[in-house]
Amino acid sequence: MNKAAESVVGGPLSYCVSRNNDSVFRRRFFSWLGPAGRFRRDTRAASAVEFAIIAAPFLAILLGTLELALLFIVNTGVTVAAESLSTKIRTGQVQAPGVTVTSSSGVQLDLADAKTLLCNQIQIVSSATCLQQLQIDVRPLTSFQQLSAASPISSGTFNTSGLCYYSGNAGDVVEMRVYYLFPLIDPLLSYSLALVTSYTNSNGTSAGKYYPIQATQVFKAESYSNETNSGAGC
């Protein structure tokens, strides 16, 4: 046999023989494996299995993205609502008369009505949910340099017993803090943002995972000519 023939036989033909032998070997090998071999060769449900593997983390990330967007929207609403109420207090349109006052009269706005006023401006949250999750702390300061009152959050518990609702009189420096406990559902966000795990108010203590949205306003009340605030101080 000449060299040309040898090159032909040793070229593509030998490659085909090698592939055929490999295919025979693979069939015999997987046949020897039995059911495990048939499972290895079966790719009919590969896409479904792959989707099942990535579905849980994908949905968690998607839910977290939507929940984080909602948190930012609620945060903006709380900030705008707090600015609006602080302007009314600063200009003497309303007064915070204390937590013991249970009905509004004249410029005095009781705590329940103040919460309703704020929640009406946080439109993305239902009124019932907002009234339950919203808390207000209003108190006069001796000066702008005075330190704020202690945070109501301690060891993961939000306690409303130390909150105040008294705006003082004309010329007083007033600090107003508005809190909204945003409930977290997504496990990824809950792990990193759940700063509050229990919520204590006059109705008792409830457990959950919350992110405390806070808006703070510090201002000096104008010299308005309205009636003196006769409410109880903090």
pLDDT, one tens digit per residue, over 22-65 is: 555 555 555 555 555 555 555 566 677 777 788 788 888 888 89
Q: Is residue 55 part of a domain?
A: no
pTM (whole model) above 0.85: no
Q: Are residues 12 and 80 in the same domain?
A: no
Instruction: Give pLDDT, residue 224.
Output: 77
Q: Mean pLDDT for the chain? A: 81
Residues 134 and 120 sit within 8 Å (Cβ to Cβ): no
Cα–Cα distance between 9 and 166 in angstroms, integer?
101
Q: Which residues of 73-89 are buried (b: 16+ CB within 10 A; e: fewer)?
A: ebbebbbebbeebbebb
Residue-range definition of the domain harbouring residue 92: 71-220
- Answer yes or no: do 24 and 105 share one domain: no
Verify that 102 and 36 share a domain, yes or no. no
Burial 181-220 (b: 16+ CB within 10 A, else e): bbebebebbbeebbebeebeeeeeeeeebbbbbbbebebe
208 shares a domain with 159: yes
Residue 8 CA to residue 107 CA, distance in Å, equals: 105
Tell me the pLDDT band of 7, cut-offs 50, 70 and 90.
very low
- In angstroms, rounded to a whole number, what is the distance separating the alpha carbons of residues 84 and 78? 10
pLDDT for res 31? 58
Q: What is the pLDDT of residue 35?
A: 56
Q: What is the pLDDT of residue 57?
A: 83
- Domain membership of residue 231 (yes or no) is no
Average pLDDT rounded to a whole number, residues 125-130 = 91
Query: In this structure, are 75 and 28 located in the same domain?
Result: no
Structure-model confidence comparison of residues 135 and 146, the more confident one: 135
Q: Can you tell me the distance from the alpha carbon of 92 to that of 88, in angstroms, rounded to the nearest whole number?
A: 6
pLDDT surpasses 50 at 5: no
Between 73 and 21, residue with greater pLDDT: 73
For residue 93, the 8-state DSSP code is S
Q: Distance (Å, rounded) from C-alpha 166 to C-alpha 98?
A: 5
Whether residue 210 is found in the same domain as residue 100: yes
Asked if 30 and 83 sit in the same domain, the reply is: no
Phi first, then psi: give them for residue 78, nearest 5 degrees.
-65, -40
pLDDT in tens, 53-90: 887 888 888 888 999 999 999 999 999 999 999 999 99
- Give the pLDDT mean for 105-132: 91
Select the highest-mean-pLDDT range: 52-56, 63-67, 100-104, 222-226.
Answer: 63-67
Looking at the structure, tell me whether residues 142 and 93 fall in a common domain: yes
The answer to whether residue 229 sits within a structural domain is: no
| 98 and 167 housed in the same domain | yes
Per-residue model confidence (pLDDT) at position 13 = 44
174 in a structural domain: yes
Say what angle helices 46-90 and 111-119 make with each other, to 10 degrees: 130
What's the structural domain count of the chain? Answer: 2
Looking at residue 114, what is its pLDDT?
Answer: 95
Chain-centre distance for alpha carbon 78: 13
Within a domain: 199: yes
Residues 145, 101 share a domain: yes
Tokens of 138: 């209003």
Residues 28 and 129 in one domain: no
